[in-house]
Structure 1
Amino acid sequence: MTDITTARQKPEISISTSDHARLSMLADAIAERDAALADDLAGELERARVVADDKIAQGVIRMGSRLRFKDEKGLERTVSLVFPPEADIAKGKMSILTPVGTALIGLSPGQSILWTARNGQRHELTVLEVDAPESA
């Protein structure tokens, strides 16, 4: 019998051309220091549908997006997804180089994804709302 958790497919995601290029360079840059994290980010980039910056849907989580999500316990969080130098979790700025940050990229409201924390625990989150980056 197949375990439902292992059989579950990841949701379809879209990533803008510019985010894809910058995140690909970031994955390459961290590969020597943290191969597992680089592989996770590269895996998300490989499975994403790459969309021209001016054609990406408003509700897609991009770099700089402010979003609200809930976890499997029903706890809600509001964060902005940012590049590592801008990260400050106390200010709600989550790095793309966290397991949950990597899981969030490219999702849209209503989509859920399973992700694995650094301690090996599996979690699920559901995106509730997404605001486009201020520069978009």
Structure 2
Amino acid sequence: MTQKPPRKPKIVVTESDLERLTGLATAALERIPEVAEELLNEMDRAKVVSPKQMPADVVRMGSIVEFDSDSAQHRRVQLVFPGEADIEQGKISILTPIGTALIGLTAGQSIAWTARDGKKHTLTVKTVEQPSPSLEKASA
């Protein structure tokens, strides 16, 4: 009997993140098809809300996230667009497997994700902080 993969947790994204991330993933389909397709799948299954309806503890673009992972132990990162990524500063791109896994999660949720080397991992979000409004506008 084959084991069914764990069900993915429910996720939430804003209308603007849905629009920008769908466009970004579509543009990246030829360069990095696995990650782009996974991001499109995440956007397809996400509950879409207006920015005013977005709970404060949901990972969105610009969020600072602390999580535990079976591969990287405890990490604190900021989820950013590809041009802003800087692993030394803890800024990870949405166009990475772990970045795609984080989008839309809330504190306490876990998700299984597959690294570029094909290895399966699990992460659990511990805390989510939103950037100050001035930082959010600068990256928009």
Give, in whole Å, the separation in 1 of the partners of 2:88 and 2:99: 15
Gaps of at least 5 residues in structure 2 are none
Match in the other structure for 2:10: 12
Q: Retained in 2: the 8 A contact 1:63–1:133?
A: no
Q: d(CA) in 1 for partners of 2:9 and 2:81?
A: 23
Query: Structure 2 length as normaliser, TM-score?
Result: 0.91
Q: Name the Cα RMSD after superposition.
A: 1.3
**1:11, 1:40 → 2: CA distance?**
14
Matches within 5 A, 1:44-63: 44-63=42-61
- The answer as to whether partners of 2:71 and 2:121 remain within 8 angstroms in 1 is no
Displacement over 4 Å in runs of 4+ = none
Identity of aligned residues (%): 49
| Correspondence for 2:37 | 39
Aligned length in residues:
134
| Amino acid across the alignment from 1:61 | V
Q: Distance in 2 between matches of 1:72 and 1:88?
A: 22
Displacement of 1:30 after TM fit?
0.8
CA 1:104–1:28: 2 relative to 1, 3 Å: same
Gaps of 5+ in 1: none
Alignment partner, residue 81 of structure 1: 79
